[in-house]
C-alpha cells in the first residue's frame, strides 16, 4: 500500500512549502486519497479552498507523515471528499460558501457559514456576486416517527454564551436527533487576512477564538516561521510553551467547574473559578495580559518574563497543587454529581477515530493523539509529560482527562520555569518577494489547531486558513447526545465545550 | 372592638407573609452565595427585582389567550391565601377555621394547574417541556402530600392547622415514628414543589433543564413579577407549614392577648432563618438529579408518607 509520502511524491511538488510538503495531484490521486481517508488509513487534518484550487491536509498516523494534497479546479468543481468521508462535509460546505467551490457528489450541499445576510455570495472567490441580504429557509434533516416533536434552541440563548442553533427532535424526553446550525459568529477572518501584512494577520489569528488566543497565535507564528525559515530564539520557544500551558490550565480549570455547574453543583464552579482567576492574574503578572493575547508574535514573543513574573507563577503552581486535589476528591466523592456525569453523552471510540477528534474529546474516547507528543514541536521534545487516555467516552471521562491534563500542565510549567534559557526573545526576519508557504499543527486546549498560509508579494499574507479543532468535534456532539435525555444536553455540550467563534471564523 | 382587633391581627398575618416572602428567598440566596465564597446580592434584592418587573412593559406573544394574562394573578392570589392561612406566629386567628390542610393542598394544586396550562398556551416548545415535567412531578408530589395530611390527621384528629399545631405542641404527642416519616416526606415534597435542587435549579440559565422556569419563560413585566412573588410565597408557605406542624413552639395560642404576639413573631422569624440556612446548605452539597430520577425521589416521599399512615393503623401510638 503506498503511503502518504508516495502520494505527495507522485504529484507535482510545490516549492517553498514547509515544514511538510504540498503537491498538486491529479483527480485520480485525489480520489485515491479520499479512499484512504474513508478506509481509515489516513486522517483528515483540514480541507480549505482558494480561488481555483482545493487543498486537503492529511496525516498518516502510522508513518507519522503529514502532507497537503491540492487539486486544481478552475471550473470550480472537484470530487467530493465528504461523499466517502463524512468528517469533510462541513469543511466542504464552508469552502463552497466562501469560494464557490462545488464538491461533486456531496450528499449535503446546504449552505453552512452563509446564512444569506452577507449581501454577497462567494465573498473570497474571483467571481463575487452581490445578492439580496435576505435569509433563506434552511431545511433541517427530517426525522420521522410517531409522536416526535421538535425543540428549536438558540441561536440566542438564555445565558451569555456564544450563538448557535440546535434543533432537537425528541420523543418525549429522549433525543432522537440533534442537528446543529452554526455560522452565526462568522467574522470573515480569512477574508480580512488576505492581503494584510504579517503583524496584522497575527493579531487577527489571535482573535479567532478568544479562549485559545495563545494557541492560535502560536499556530500562526509557527506557520509564518516555517514558511520564511525563521529560527526562533530558544528563550522565546520556551516562553511560548509556558504561555500555552497556562492557557490550557486556565481553560481546563474553568471547564471542570462549568461542567459541574451545569449539573447545578455550584460549589465546584465557585472553587474552580477562584483557581482559574488566579491563573489569569499570574499570567497578567508574568506577561502583561490576562489571556496573553498578542504575546506570541511571528519571530518570538512580545513580552519578557520578569523575575516577579516567575515568582508569581511559582506561587501559582504551589497554590493549585495544594488546593486542586481536594476539588478532585470533592468531584469524585459527590454521588449526586457522579450520577449525572457517568455514562452520560457517550462518544463511541470508532467515531472519535473516524472524525479524528482532538483534545479531551478524542482522548476520552480512546484516540491517542496529542500534537505536543506526536509531532514533538519544540520545546516539548525536551519535556517529560504523559498524555492521559480513557476509553469510556462519557462526560465523566472528559472531566477526568481535563483533571489529568491540569496535573500535566502544572508539571510542564515547573519544568519550563526550571530549564528556561536566557537570551533574546524575538528576532526580526527579512521580507521576501518570493511566494512562501508554511503550515503548523499546534495543540490548543481543545485539540490540534491547524494553520496554513501563503506569503506572497511584499511579504503580505495571500491566503491563510485556520482550522479549529471544533470542526471535527461539533458533529460528534450530535452523535453523543443521541439516546440521552434533552435535559442532559447542556452537560454534554459543556463537556465538549466546542468553540463557536473558532469554527465560524 | 374585639372583632376589629381579631381582624387586624388576621390582616397583620396576611401582610406579614407578603412582606417576609421575598426576604426569605433573598436570605437563602445570600447564604448560598456565602457558602460558595461569594459576596452575593443584598438581602433586599428580591424586592428590588419585583419593583423593577412591576415597572417594566409587558411583552405578550401574539397568540397569547386571556388565560395567559389571567394566570399570574390567579397564581399569586391562591398562593397568597394559602400562605396567609397557615398559623405563622399565632394560632386560632379569625379565619383559622378555613386553614385546613386539604384546602391548602387544593389551593396550590389549582395554582399549578393554571400555570401548566399557561405554559402551553403560547405554544413554544420550552413551555410544553416545562409543563409536562411539572405535571410529572405534581402527579407524584400531590399524592405524597395527601398521605402526609392523612398521617397528621390520624395523629392529631383534625386537618385544621390550628388544632394540629396545638396538638403537636402538647406533651401527649410523644415520639412517633409516623411523624418522623411524615416530616421527611414533607421536606422532600417541599423541595420538589418549590423547584429547588436536586429537582430543579432555580438559578439556571439552561433552557433545556428547566422545569418551573421553562413554563414562565414567556412571561415579562408585571406578569412575571406576580409569578415570581407567588414563587417566593410558596417557599414561605412550605417553610411555615413545616415549622407550624413540626416546630409549633412559640406559637401564640388562640385567644391570647396582644402582648404574647411579639414573641410569636420573633420565634417565627427565627424558624424561617433556621430553615433557610438548612435549605441553602443542602442545596450547596448536592447536584441536580436527572429528570427521570425525580419520580424515584418523590416515590420515596410517597412511600414514607404511606408507611407513616399504615403504621398508625397498626398502632395509634406509633
Q: How near does any CA of chain B get to the CA of A236, in Å?
A: 38
Residue A418: its pLDDT value, please? 93
Question: At the topology level of CATH, where does A189-504 sit?
Answer: Cytochrome-c3 Hydrogenase; chain B (1.10.645)
Q: Do A336 and B207 touch (CB under 8 A)?
A: no
Cell 428580591 locates to: B46
Q: Is B214 on the interface with A (CB under 8 A)?
A: no
Q: Residues of A307-328 as b/e, b for ≥16 C-beta within 10 angstroms? A: eebeebbeebbeebeeebeebb
**pLDDT higher at B188 or B251:** B188
Q: Tell me what the pLDDT averaged over chain A comes to.
A: 90
Nearest CA in chain A to B123: A151
Query: pLDDT tens, B254-305?
Result: 666 777 788 889 999 999 999 999 999 999 999 888 888 899 999 999 999 9
A137 touching chain B per CB within 8 A: no
Residue B7 has pLDDT above 70, yes or no: yes
A433 pLDDT more than 80: no
Q: Is the pLDDT of residue A1 over 60?
A: no
What pLDDT sits at residue B52? 96
- ipTM of the complex in this document: 0.86
- Partner residue opposite B36 with nearest CB, options A266, A489, A490: A266
% of chain B residues with pLDDT over 70: 99
Instruction: Please say whether the beta carbons of A248 and A358 come within 8 A.
Output: no
**CB-based contact, B201 to chain A, within 8 Å:** yes
What is the structure's pLDDT at B44? 93
Cell of B117: 396550562
- Put simply, whether B124 touches A (Cβ < 8 Å) is no
Give yes or no for B29 touching A (CB within 8 A).
no
Any idea where the domains of chain B sit in the sequence? 2-314
State the greatest distance between any 2 C-alpha atoms of chain B, in Å, as a whole number.
60
What is the per-residue pLDDT across A110-159, written as a single tens digit (0 to 9) for each? Answer: 989 988 888 888 888 888 888 777 777 888 888 888 888 888 887 888 77
Comparing A53-67, A119-133, A403-417, B48-62, which segment has the lowest mean pLDDT? A119-133
Q: Do A173 and B198 touch (CB under 8 A)?
A: no
CB contact under 8 A, B208 and A489: yes
Helix ranges (H only) for A17-163 are: 27-38, 89-99
B292 part of contact set with chain A, CB < 8 Å: yes
- The secondary structure of A436-456, three-state, reads EEEEEEEECCCCEEEEEEEEC
Whether the Cβ atoms of residue B127 and residue B214 lie closer than 8 Å to each other: yes
Cβ–Cβ gap A336/B289 under 8 Å: yes
Residue of B nearest to A169 (CA): B125
Comparing CB atoms, the residue among A160, A263, A270 nearest residue B37 is A270
How high is the pLDDT of residue B255? 66
Q: How confident is the model over A170-184, as pLDDT tens digits?
A: 888 889 999 999 999
Any chain B CB within 8 A of the CB of A339? yes
DSSP letter, residue A383: S
CA–CA gap between residue A76 and residue B227 (Å, rounded): 58
User: What is d(CA B117, CA B120) in angstroms, rounded to the nearest whole number?
Assistant: 5
Q: Count CB neighbours of A34 within 10 A.
A: 22
pLDDT, position B256: 67
Average pLDDT of chain B is 90
CA of A159, closest CA in chain B: separation in Å?
5
Query: Residue A334 is nearest to which of B125, B197, B287, comparing CB atoms?
Result: B287
**Structural contact between residues A187 and A500, judged by C-beta atoms closer than 8 angstroms:** no
Nearest CA in chain B to A342: B290
Residue A333 sits at the chain B interface (C-beta within 8 Å): no
Question: In A148-265, where does DSSP find H-type helix?
Answer: 189-193, 198-206, 213-228, 234-262
The three grid cell numbers given for residue A307, joined into one nine-digit string: 523575575
Please state which of the four CATH numbers 3.40.190.10, 3.90.700.10, 3.30.2130.10, 3.30.460.80 is assigned to the domain occupying A4-112. 3.30.460.80
| Chain B residues whose beta carbon lies within 8 Å of the beta carbon of residue A339 | 287, 289-290, 293
State percent of chain A over pLDDT 70. Answer: 99
Going edge to edge, which strands form the sheet with A12-13? A12-13, A21-24, A65-72, A53-60, A43-50
**Residue A225 confidence (pLDDT) above 70:** yes
Question: Nearest 5°: CA angle at B270, between B265 and B275?
Answer: 125
Task: Please give the pLDDT value at position B254.
Answer: 67
Residues 6+ apart with CB under 8 A from A245: A409, A412, A413, A416
Q: Does residue A6 carry a pLDDT above 80?
A: no
In this predicted structure, what is the pLDDT of residue B203?
79
Of B32, B198, B291, the CB nearest to A487: B291
Output the pLDDT for position B170: 86
pLDDT tens digits, residue range B278-290? 999 999 999 888 8
Q: What is the pTM of this model?
A: 0.91
**Cα–Cα dist A482/A381, whole Å:** 40
pLDDT tens for each residue of A191-222? 999 989 999 999 999 999 989 999 999 999 99
- Contact of B241 with chain A, judged by CB distance below 8 Å, is answered with no
Q: For A271, which residue in chain B has the nearest alpha carbon?
A: B36
> Residue range A75-103: average pLDDT?
92
User: Looking at per-residue confidence, does A69 or A9 come out higher?
Assistant: A69
Of the candidates A153, A270, A336, the beta carbon closest to that of B287 is on A336
Residue A162, pLDDT > 80, answer yes
Measured in whole angstroms, the distance separating CA A49 from the mean position of its chain's CA atoms is 18
For residue A270, which residues of chain B lie inside 8 Å, CB to CB? 36-38
Minimal Cα distance from A266: which residue of B?
Answer: B284
Interchain contact A173–B (C-beta under 8 A): yes
Q: Which chain B residues touch A260 with a CB distance below 8 Å?
A: 287
Chain A residues within 8 A of B207 when measuring between CB atoms: 153, 157-158
Nearest-by-Cβ selection for B290 from A262, A488, A489: A488
Which residues in chain A have Cβ-Cβ distances shorter than 8 Å to B137?
none
Query: What average pLDDT does this structure show over B17-24?
Result: 95
Interface contact A176, partner B, CB < 8 A? no
- Tell me if A264 and B288 make a contact (CB, 8 A cut-off): yes
State whether residue A490 sits within 8 Å of chain B by CB: yes
Q: Is B204 on the interface with A (CB under 8 A)?
A: yes
For residue A431, pLDDT beyond 80: no
Interchain contact B120–A (C-beta under 8 A): no
Kindly report the nearest CA distance between residue B126 and chain A, in angstroms: 8
On chain A, the residues whose CB falls within 8 A of the CB of B292 are: 173, 485
Chain B, nearest residue to A158 by Cα: B205
How far is residue A176's CA from residue A148's CA, in Å, rounded to a whole number? 8
**pLDDT value, residue B181:** 93
Is A342 an interface residue toward B (CB < 8 Å)? no
Of B32, B206, B293, the CB nearest to A490: B206
In this prediction, residue A63 has a pLDDT band, given cuts at 50, 70 and 90, of confident
CB burial readout B279-317, b (16+ within 10 A) else e:
bbeebbebbbbbbeebeebbeebbebbbbbbebbeeeee
SS3 state at B132? helix
Residue range(s) of every CATH 1.10.645.10 domain in chain A: 189-504
In total, the C-beta contacts within 8 angstroms joining chain A to chain B are 79
User: What sections of A55-128 are H helices per DSSP?
Assistant: 89-99
Cell reading at B82: 394559602
Looking at residue A2, its pLDDT comes to 66
Distance of residue B108 Cα from the nearest chain A Cα, in angstroms: 26
Tell me: pLDDT of A9 over 80.
no
Best B39, B208, B219, B286 member to test A by mutation, with max A CBs in 10 Å, is B208
Q: In the prediction, which pLDDT does A480 show?
A: 93
Provide CB contacts within 8 A for A227, sequence distance 6+.
A16, A18, A436, A437, A438, A453, A454, A455
- Taking the CA of residue B309 and the nearest CA in chain A, the distance in Å comes to 30
pLDDT at site A132: 76
Alpha carbon of B284: minimum distance to chain A alpha carbons (Å): 6
Nearest CB among B38, B208, B286 relative to A487 is that of B208
Q: What does DSSP say about strands A17-18 and A149-153: parallel, antiparallel, or unpaired?
A: unpaired
Burial of B57 (0-12, 13-18, 19+ CB in 10 A): exposed
Closest to A252 (Cα-Cα) out of A279, A229, A218: A279
Query: Is B284 within 8 Å of A336 when comparing Cβ atoms?
Result: no
- Closest listed residue to residue A354, CA positions, set A84, A73, A22, A10: A84
The alpha carbon of residue A57 is apart from the nearest alpha carbon of chain B, in Å, by 38
Q: How far is CA B20 from the centre of its chain?
A: 13
Residue A500 near chain B (CB below 8 Å):
no
Sort out which chain B residues have CB atoms less than 8 A from A489's CB and list them: 208
**Grid cell for residue A131:** 445578492
Note the pLDDT tens digit of each residue in A329-362: 999 999 989 999 998 999 999 999 999 898 999 9
What was the pLDDT predicted at B261?
83
Q: Cα(A30)–Cα(A7) distance, rounded to whole angstroms?
A: 9
| Chain A CA closest to residue B200 | A264
Amino acid at each position: 500500500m503506498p503511503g502518504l509520502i508516495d502520494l505527495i511524491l507522485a504529484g507535482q511538488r510545490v516549492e517553498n512549502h514547509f515544514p511538510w510538503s504540498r503537491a498538486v495531484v491529479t483527480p485520480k490521486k485525489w480520489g485515491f486519497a479520499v479512499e484512504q481517508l474513508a478506509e481509515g488509513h489516513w486522517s483528515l487534518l483540514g480541507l480549505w479552498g482558494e480561488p481555483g484550487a482545493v487543498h486537503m491536509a492529511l496525516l498518516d498516523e502510522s508513518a507519522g507523515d503529514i502532507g497537503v494534497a491540492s487539486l486544481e479546479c478552475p471550473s470550480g468543481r472537484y470530487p467530493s471528499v465528504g461523499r466517502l468521508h463524512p468528517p469533510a462535509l462541513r469543511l466542504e460546505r464552508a469552502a463552497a460558501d466562501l469560494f464557490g467551490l462545488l464538491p461533486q457528489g456531496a450528499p449535503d450541499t446546504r449552505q453552512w457559514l452563509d446564512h444569506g445576510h452577507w449581501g454577497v455570495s462567494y465573498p473570497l472567490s474571483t467571481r463575487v456576486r452581490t445578492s439580496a441580504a435576505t435569509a433563506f429557509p434552511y431545511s433541517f434533516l427530517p426525522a420521522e416517527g410517531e409522536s416526535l416533536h421538535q425543540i428549536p434552541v438558540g441561536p440566542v440563548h438564555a445565558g451569555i454564551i456564544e450563538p448557535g442553533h440546535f434543533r432537537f427532535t425528541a420523543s418525549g424526553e429522549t433525543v432522537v436527533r440533534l442537528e446543529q446550525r452554526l455560522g452565526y459568529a462568522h467574522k470573515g477572518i480569512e477574508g480580512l487576512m488576505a492581503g494584510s501584512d504579517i503583524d496584522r494577520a497575527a493579531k487577527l489569528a489571535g482573535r479567532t477564538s478568544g479562549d485559545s488566543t495563545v494557541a492560535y497565535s502560536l499556530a500562526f507564528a509557527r506557520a509564518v516561521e516555517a514558511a520564511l525559515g525563521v529560527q526562533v530564539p530558544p528563550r522565546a520557544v520556551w516562553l511560548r510553551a509556558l504561555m500555552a500551558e497556562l492557557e490550557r490550565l486556565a481553560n481546563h480549570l474553568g471547564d471542570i467547574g462549568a461542567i459541574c455547574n451545569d449539573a447545578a453543583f455550584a460549589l465546584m464552579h465557585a472553587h474552580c473559578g477562584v483557581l482559574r482567576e488566579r491563573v489569569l492574574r499570574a499570567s497578567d503578572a508574568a506577561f502583561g495580559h490576562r489571556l496573553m493575547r498578542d504575546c506570541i508574535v511571528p519571530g518570538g514573543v512580545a513580552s519578557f518574563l520578569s523575575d516577579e513574573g516567575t515568582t508569581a507563577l511559582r506561587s501559582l503552581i504551589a497554590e493549585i497543587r495544594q488546593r486542586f486535589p481536594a476539588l478532585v476528591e470533592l468531584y469524585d466523592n459527590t454521588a449526586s454529581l457522579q450520577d449525572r456525569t457517568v455514562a452520560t453523552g457517550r462518544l463511541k471510540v470508532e467515531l472519535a477515530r473516524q472524525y479524528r477528534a482532538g483534545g479531551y474529546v478524542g482522548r476520552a474516547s480512546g484516540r491517542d493523539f496529542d500534537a505536543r507528543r506526536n509531532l514533538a514541536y519544540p520545546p516539548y521534545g525536551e519535556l517529560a509529560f504523559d498524555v492521559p487516555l480513557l476509553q469510556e467516552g462519557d462526560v465523566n471521562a472528559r472531566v477526568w482527562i481535563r483533571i489529568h491534563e491540569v496535573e500535566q500542565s502544572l508539571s510542564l510549567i515547573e519544568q519550563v520555569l526550571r530549564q528556561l534559557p536566557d537570551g533574546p526573545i524575538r528576532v526580526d526576519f527579512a521580507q521576501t518577494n518570493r511566494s512562501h508557504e508554511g503550515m503548523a499543527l499546534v495543540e490548543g486546549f481543545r485539540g490540534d489547531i491547524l494553520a496554513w498560509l501563503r506569503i506572497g508579494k511584499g511579504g503580505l499574507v495571500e491566503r491563510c486558513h485556520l482550522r479549529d479543532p471544533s470542526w471535527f468535534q461539533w458533529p460528534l456532539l450530535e452523535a453523543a447526545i443521541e439516546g440521552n435525555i434533552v435535559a442532559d444536553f447542556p452537560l454534554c455540550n459543556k463537556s465538549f465545550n466546542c468553540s463557536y467563534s473558532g469554527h465560524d471564523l | 372592638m374585639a372583632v376589629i382587633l381579631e381582624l387586624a391581627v388576621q390582616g397583620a398575618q396576611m401582610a406579614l407573609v407578603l412582606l417576609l416572602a421575598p426576604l426569605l428567598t433573598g436570605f437563602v440566596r445570600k447564604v448560598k452565595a456565602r457558602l460558595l465564597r461569594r459576596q452575593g446580592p443584598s438581602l433586599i434584592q428580591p424586592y428590588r427585582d419585583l419593583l423593577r418587573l412591576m415597572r417594566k412593559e409587558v411583552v405578550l406573544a401574539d397568540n397569547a389567550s386571556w388565560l395567559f394574562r389571567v394566570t399570574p394573578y390567579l397564581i399569586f392570589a391562591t398562593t397568597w391565601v394559602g400562605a396567609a392561612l397557615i398559623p405563622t406566629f399565632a394560632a386560632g386567628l379569625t379565619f383559622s377555621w378555613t386553614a385546613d390542610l386539604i384546602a391548602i393542598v387544593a389551593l396550590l394544586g389549582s395554582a399549578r394547574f393554571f400555570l401548566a396550562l399557561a405554559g402551553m398556551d403560547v405554544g413554544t416548545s420550552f413551555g410544553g417541556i416545562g409543563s409536562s415535567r411539572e405535571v410529572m412531578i405534581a402527579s407524584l408530589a400531590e399524592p405524597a402530600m395527601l398521605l402526609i395530611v392523612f398521617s397528621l390527621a390520624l395523629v392529631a384528629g383534625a386537618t385544621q392547622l390550628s388544632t394540629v399545631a396545638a396538638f403537636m405542641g402538647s406533651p401527649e404527642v410523644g415520639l412517633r415514628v409516623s411523624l418522623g416519616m411524615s416530616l421527611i416526606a414533607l421536606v422532600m415534597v417541599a423541595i420538589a414543589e418549590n423547584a429547588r435542587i436536586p429537582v430543579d435549579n432555580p438559578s439556571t440559565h439552561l433552557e433545556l433543564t428547566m422545569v418551573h422556569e421553562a413554563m414562565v419563560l414567556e412571561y415579562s413585566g408585571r406578569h412575571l413579577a406576580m409569578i415570581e412573588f407567588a414563587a417566593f410565597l410558596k417557599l414561605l408557605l412550605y417553610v411555615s407549614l413545616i415549622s407550624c406542624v413540626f416546630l409549633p413552639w412559640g406559637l401564640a395560642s388562640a385567644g391570647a392577648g396582644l402582648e404574647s404576639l411579639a414573641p410569636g413573631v420573633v420565634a417565627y422569624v427565627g424558624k424561617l432563618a433556621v430553615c433557610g440556612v438548612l435549605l441553602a446548605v443542602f442545596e450547596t452539597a448536592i447536584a441536580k438529579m436527572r429528570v427521570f430520577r425525580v419520580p424515584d425521589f418523590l416515590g420515596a416521599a410517597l412511600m414514607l408518607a404511606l408507611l407513616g399512615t399504615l403504621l398508625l393503623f397498626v398502632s395509634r401510638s406509633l
